Structure 1
Amino acid sequence: MYLGLRTDSPVVEMYLYSVDGERIAFAEWRADRGMAKGLLLHIETFLKTHEAEFTLLKGVFVFAGPGSFTGLRIGITVANALSYSLSVPVVGACGDDIWAADCVSRLQRGKNDRVVVPFYGAAPRITQPKK
């Protein structure tokens, strides 16, 4: 199975696909400011609900942007950490409505980004230091 995450907004999307590319499950969670604290627990609950577990995952995919700076950082960090800890590939994609299908296709072809990096869609808005 492949686990997918989209965390570019306050509503987290979680996907579960078979290795054949069939979508098994989809869930949303209104995370708001609790994303960092609750994401792993919600993923674990999502997997258990669909009779899956972390050890059954064959790959992880994640939406890489553009979107919320903090949301993307949290989701991509979790995806990269799961990939590393489970020794499975991770891929990321940006942009349009078919990002999940693109990621699943890449995983099926044996692709691995090793580390997904975020695409924020704009230059950082960093304030000037106070004098």
Structure 2
Amino acid sequence: MTYILSIETATKNCSVSVSLDGKTIACKEIAENGYSHAEKLHVFIEEILSENNLTFKDLKAVAVSQGPGSYTGLRIGVSAAKGLCFSLQIPLIAIDTLETLARQLEVDNGTIVPMIDARRMECYTAFFDSQHQKTREIISEIIDADSYKDIDAVMHIIGDGAEKCKTVLTDSKFIFHDDIVFPSAKDMNAPAYEKFQKKETVDVAYFEPFYLKDFLIVK
């Protein structure tokens, strides 16, 4: 039996789940306007294990959202995951945040475009097909009326960056799924288990979040 703890803190959603052989058995999460990850994350981890009669020693690995997303949120999640893996001597698995978001949507055709807000009209985006396979790599892009004009396929837009794009992405090929806003740890479990089986883990000592953009301090 392979129990994996998954941690998702790349956006406003502070999310923790635990899975057995890739199947989610429990998830605790909260999305607040003010980031509460530092206060809630470790509490959620302890609670989800206790409520499911598990201990830290039952865990075979920890999966963490690698980004892109909030600099502070990513640092909090990765620090917690690395601390657990180091102390328990178990592997660390990194999961693409945009893939986690894309996995919330099931479609028969078209392209899934998860968007994570990067302020103003900029978003972190990638393309996924109906099988949640990545068809375009992650980039940070400014969305305007000319975005995706060269694409004829239906485009399913999700994420917390989607709302602000409605005013410029007005073609009928764009379908907005307003109910999917934040990535959730529960959608990390299947890919995390796949990576665990393939031994696709990262170095606990040297792993860093995928920020995509440099951190800038402004007045």
Q: Taking structure 2 as the reference length, what is the TM-score of the superposition?
A: 0.53
**1:50 pairs with 2:52:** yes
Please say which of residues 111-120 and 65-74 is displaced more in the overlay.
111-120
Provide, for residues 45-87 of structure 1, a one-character-per-residue CA deviation record: whole Å limited to 9, x for no partner: 1111122121110000011101000000000010011000001
Q: State the alpha-carbon separation in 1 of the partners of residues 41 and 214 from structure 2.
A: 27
Aligned residues: 127
Q: Are 1:3 and 2:94 an aligned pair?
A: no
Aligned-residue identity in percent: 31
CA distance in 2, matches of 1:28, 1:57: 19
Long gaps (5+) in structure 1:
none
State the one-letter code of the partner of 1:10: K
SS of equivalent to 1:25:
strand
Displacement, 1:104? 2.0
Structure 1, residues 8-36: CA drift from partner, whole Å, max 9, x if none?
12221112111x22221222134644322
Q: Retained in 2: the 8 A contact 1:61–1:104? A: no
Structure 2 residue aligned with 1:89: 91
Quickly say closer, same or farther: Cα 1:79–1:40, change in 2 above 3 A: same
* Separation of aligned partners in 2, 1:111 and 1:53: 24
- Paired letter, 1:48: S
- The equivalent residue for 1:65 is 67
* Residues 1-131 of structure 1 mapped to structure 2, 5 A cutoff: 1-18=3-20, 20-30=21-31, 32-94=34-96, 95-96=98-99, 97-98=102-103, 100=188, 101-115=190-204, 116-127=207-218
Contact 1:35 1:71 in 2 (8 A): yes
Higher helix share: 1
Mapped contact 1:89–1:111 kept (Cα < 8 A): no
Q: CA deviation at 1:123?
A: 2.4
AA in 2 matched with 1:102: P
Gaps of 5+ in 2: 104-186
Residue 38 (structure 1) shift: 3.2
Q: Is the 8 A contact 2:28 2:44 kept in 1?
A: no
Give the aligned CA root-mean-square deviation in angstroms.
Answer: 1.9
